[in-house]
A and B are shown apart, each in its own frame.
Chain A
Amino acid sequence: MESSARVALRVSGLTKSYKDVRAVDGLSLDVRRGEIFGFLGPNGAGKTTTIKMMCGLLRPDAGSVTVNGAEVRPRSRGGLTTIGLSPQSIVIWETLTCREQLEFMGRMYGLSRASAQAKSRELLDVFGLQDKRNKLGKTLSGGLQRRLNIALALVHDPEILFLDESQAGLDPQSRILVRDTIRSLAEKTTVVLTTHDMEEAEKLADRICIIDRGKLLVLDTVSNIKNRLGRGDVVEVEIAEDIRASLLPHIPALLPGTPSIAVTEHTLSLVSDEAGRILPEILQVIKSRGLRLEHVRVRKITLEDVFIQLTGRGLRE
């Protein structure tokens, strides 16, 4: 457990069940002040339920959530003003303009008219919406709506910002803008980022946690998490024939001491810090068994490799 002074968000023993299904199972974690925290997990892992409890929108069966030491209580009288949430689905008012929406939310958080207007101008600038300030929400493109969705979570300068799939549906230019904005936000706000985009999480997050079936699987920096899979590179070999019977039984003898080996019907992938040495050996075995090589690739370990290893390849809900 981190020192309280450094912790922006503390989750302790958080538990939530729906009938017989335990969606979140005794989850505990700390998010440090000012960090970008990646919150990952496959579909149905309990991410959304956890985020809702963190934001005070859902009452936990057990456990607690604190933001900067203050407990998050659902429907607290003053509102959940330390928290900003940019939900996964686009939640905007279709018949209000961008400017009106931002000013309106500012007033809902108790800003004066002048402050709300100033904040609206600032956010329109930050998110590149100034030209569209007088456009109705429903007339914006999907990417612009997504940007407005994030901006609406920031009108009250929250201490912690939850971004749930904030980059879904954005074009590359918008992704860069949003990514840069999130980085600049992290200078004064703690950001909890939920995404299925491993590359984006890898680029943005200081630390990452992966949960599955409501339980914490891992929480660490990206590089430490990747090191869990092994040091070195990923070697992927694709073969035309089914290799599960012909090659799989011989792998341990072929590659002694290689910890991370995955074999599917046509693919062999492994992690090794001696890729240059073992790759010719593998190719020799393939040739000697009369198998046809389709594709060979040597690449760096990614977060997705770790994610798949931790949560499996099986499809979720």
Chain B
Amino acid sequence: MRIAAYFQKTFRENIREWKILILALVFGPFFVYLMYAYFGAATPSYNLLVLDGDKPVVLPDGRALRSGEDLRRQWTEAKYPDGKPVFKVQPVGGLEEGQRLLKSREADILIVIPPDFTRSIQDYRNKTGAALSPLKNIGDPSSVRFTVASAFADYISYAAVASAAGLELPAAVEFQGIGSGRSPSDFELYVPALLVLAVIMVLFTAAASIIKEVDKGTITRLVMSKLRAFDFLAAISLNQVLIGTLALALTYLSALSVGYRSQGSIPLFLLVGGLATLSVIAISVFVAALMRTIFELLTVGVFPFFILMFFSESMFPLPRFTLFRLAGRAFYANDILPTSLAVKAFNKILNFNAGLGEVGFELTGIIVLTAVYFAGGLWFFYRRHLRPR
């Protein structure tokens, strides 16, 4: 009964303090639209610049061979299984122009086809002992898009040159996508992380609900009443799970509104989302134990928020440091944040149609970590704010 009364009270407060609530609810959708604007929803298409200096070779029968041109055509015609082009091929007039476009990130890769490209292939074919004239890939090595574009382009180039030179490729490689086989776009790959980001925002609303009682001194009234620490946290958790689930749903709907199509089970997604929200609430109890005022939460509290955001790989990938392996699965250092496991679980469920069994490791990890954080947070909060001194 006390849990219900406290839940009702906190619910009213959250509705009336709508600015924090709105912030928590729109944060995820905002980033969805931001990422969509940045990446677009389509399968990634790489901007390939070609500086084609190749000179045709005219055969005795009068035919002109243009291996460079053939290669450009093959890059242009390369398609994903869903029919979307892999490259947007654009010729450039010179090296300087190509490098300028690379530096301004208007292109991902510049491939220079040498003047004797066709000639060297013909010489090789005629077994004159001449080496094949090399293609040159130019790009920013720190850019993932350059690395991927280079890999795709190289594969097409090797096959084309081998065919033209009469070579046999040492091995044939077949590409097969996991999940439905459809290649997810960069935006789609980000969606699981953005969903977790929406959940992480609960850190503020949950910690604020707790710290407010300390800040305003009302915790004294509660301590003197029959309310137990368990009732207090259960009511707040229930309320925050509602907020977290709503934020998650809004973020997911925002992703759907810009073309995101999930392949996985929605009930399983909601289960992981609910548990992830609980885990963030557990962490927020820790945060609340460290602070005394709402002002502290909105200033110092930003630090744990960023830790959760970045170390959960919600923004970008991190170097991996394996803490231990269990049942053949690696548990990385940043997995001590349950939100890191939630990102992985969301990715498996939503992008690769994983079932309960396939996310069992992540689910178990989230549950165990949530229990540990709750127990630790409760102990710490009791010592800091509830224990008579």
> Which of B12-20, B73-81, B96-104, B241-249 is near enough to bind chain A?
B12-20
User: Are B226 and A152 in touch, CB under 8 angstroms?
Assistant: no
User: Are A110 and B226 in touch, CB under 8 angstroms?
Assistant: yes
Chain A hits for B357, CB < 8 A: none
Whole-angstrom distance between the Cβ of B204 and the nearest chain A Cβ: 17
Whole-angstrom distance between the Cβ of B387 and the nearest chain A Cβ: 7
User: Are B224 and A56 in touch, CB under 8 angstroms?
Assistant: yes
User: Are B9 and A96 in touch, CB under 8 angstroms?
Assistant: yes
Q: B interface, by DSSP: helix, strand, loop or mixed?
A: helix
User: Are B12 and A95 in touch, CB under 8 angstroms?
Assistant: yes
Q: Write out, one digit per residue, whether chain A residues 85-113 have a CB within 8 A of any chain B CB (1) or not (0).
A: 10101011111100010001101111000
Number of inter-chain CB pairs below 8 Å: 78
- Please tell me if B325 contacts chain A, counting CB pairs below 8 Å: no
Whole-angstrom distance between the Cβ of B381 and the nearest chain A Cβ: 13
User: Are A57 and B388 in touch, CB under 8 angstroms?
Assistant: yes
- Please tell me if A75 contacts chain B, counting CB pairs below 8 Å: yes
Q: A interface, by DSSP: helix, strand, loop or mixed?
A: loop
Chain B hits for A237, CB < 8 A: none
User: Are A75 and B387 in touch, CB under 8 angstroms?
Assistant: yes
Whole-angstrom distance between the Cβ of B388 and the nearest chain A Cβ: 3
- Please tell me if A243 contacts chain B, counting CB pairs below 8 Å: no
User: Are A91 and B220 in touch, CB under 8 angstroms?
Assistant: yes
Chain A hits for B12, CB < 8 A: 95-96, 100
With most chain A CB atoms within 10 A of its CB, the pick from B1, B222, B225 is B225
User: Are A89 and B2 in touch, CB under 8 angstroms?
Assistant: no
Q: Write out, one digit per residue, whether chain B residues 1-35 have a CB within 8 A of any chain A CB (1) or not (0).
A: 11001101100110011000000000000000000
User: Are B389 and A81 in touch, CB under 8 angstroms?
Assistant: no
User: Are A74 and B388 in touch, CB under 8 angstroms?
Assistant: yes
- Please tell me if B386 contacts chain A, counting CB pairs below 8 Å: yes
Q: A108-B227, A136-B16 are in contact. Are A152 and B9 (CB under 8 A)?
A: no
Residues in B183-224 with C-beta less than 8 Å from chain A: 216-218, 220-224
Q: A93-B218, A96-B12, A100-B9 are in contact. Are A107 and B224 (CB under 8 A)?
A: no
Chain B hits for A83, CB < 8 A: 224
User: Are A109 and B226 in touch, CB under 8 angstroms?
Assistant: yes
- Please tell me if A169 contacts chain B, counting CB pairs below 8 Å: no
Q: Write out, one digit per residue, whether chain B residues 113-134 have a CB within 8 A of any chain A CB (1) or not (0).
A: 0000000000000000000000
Whole-angstrom distance between the Cβ of B222 and the nearest chain A Cβ: 7
User: Are B224 and A152 in touch, CB under 8 angstroms?
Assistant: no
Interface size grouping (class) on chain A? 20 to 34
- Please tell me if A79 contacts chain B, counting CB pairs below 8 Å: yes
**Among the listed A75, A152, A156, which residue makes an inter-chain contact with B223, where contact means beta carbons less than 8 Å apart?**
A75
**Among the listed B9, B225, B388, which residue makes an inter-chain contact with A79, where contact means beta carbons less than 8 Å apart?**
B225
User: Are B13 and A93 in touch, CB under 8 angstroms?
Assistant: yes
A244 to B386 CA separation, bound complex (whole angstroms):
54
- Please tell me if A58 contacts chain B, counting CB pairs below 8 Å: yes
Whole-angstrom distance between the Cβ of A192 and the nearest chain B Cβ: 15
Considering only CB atoms, which chain A residue lies closest to B216 in the complex?
A91
User: Are A79 and B224 in touch, CB under 8 angstroms?
Assistant: yes
Chain A hits for B2, CB < 8 A: 107-108, 110
Chain B hits for A56, CB < 8 A: 224, 388
What are 27 A-B residue pairs whose CB atoms fall within 8 Å in the complex? A75-B386, A78-B226, A79-B224, A80-B224, A85-B220, A87-B217, A87-B220, A89-B217, A91-B218, A91-B220, A92-B218, A93-B216, A93-B218, A95-B12, A95-B17, A104-B8, A104-B9, A105-B221, A107-B2, A107-B5, A108-B5, A108-B6, A108-B221, A109-B225, A110-B226, A136-B16, A156-B225
Closest 6 CB pairs of A and B: A74-B388, A107-B5, A108-B225, A79-B226, A95-B16, A91-B217
